[in-house]
Amino acid sequence: MNGSLVQEVRAALTAARKVRDQPRTLLFSTVLSDLKNRELELGHPLEDADAIEVLRRAIKHRGESVEAYKAGGRQDLADREAFEIVEIEKLLPPLVGEDVIRAAVREAMAGGAKDLGAVMGRVMPRFKGQADGKVVNRIVREELAAGS
């Protein structure tokens, strides 16, 4: 694990330990463990794009937990998961704007991609870890509808 994002997580863990911040220490320890597991799966040191993917997946998982805890009447647990989402998001670079995604979608369509799968196949690799797949999918559908 040698990406700069991984180093940021390590630094955040160290800072949390120094001030004896138990919730953040636990969170960043868990995130580092997730990153190490992904590195073992891939069989090579993590690039930032791989680390971003791991962190986005952690955010998605915690978001699902927030909904489940709220439905179960456990606001205390939902609040803890929401806190963790905010802390993980602080480590991530900002998401790509919709206008940039829309331009890439139009470019893919101009390049011959005419259906949802083809356009998504060309656009998603460009924005790996930098855009929410749901947002990209929505924009692709809008552009395909406008183009037909």
Report pLDDT digits (tens) over 1-22: 455 888 999 999 999 999 999 9
Q: Are 98 and 123 in contact (CB under 8 A)?
A: no
Q: How far apart are CA 117 and CA 17, in angstroms?
A: 46
Domains of the chain: 4-91 (1.10.1510.10), 98-147 (1.10.10)
Q: What is the DSSP letter of 21?
A: -
What integer pLDDT is reported at residue 148 of this predicted model? 55
Q: How far apart are CA 147 and CA 102, in angstroms?
A: 13
Q: Which of 89, 94, 88, 93 has the alpha carbon at shortest distance from 13?
A: 88
Q: What is the model's pTM?
A: 0.71
- pLDDT: which is higher, 114 or 61: 61
What is the total residue count of the chain?
148
- Rg for the chain, CA atoms, rounded: 18
pLDDT digits (tens, 9 = 90+) for 83-120: 999 999 999 887 888 888 888 888 888 888 788 888 88
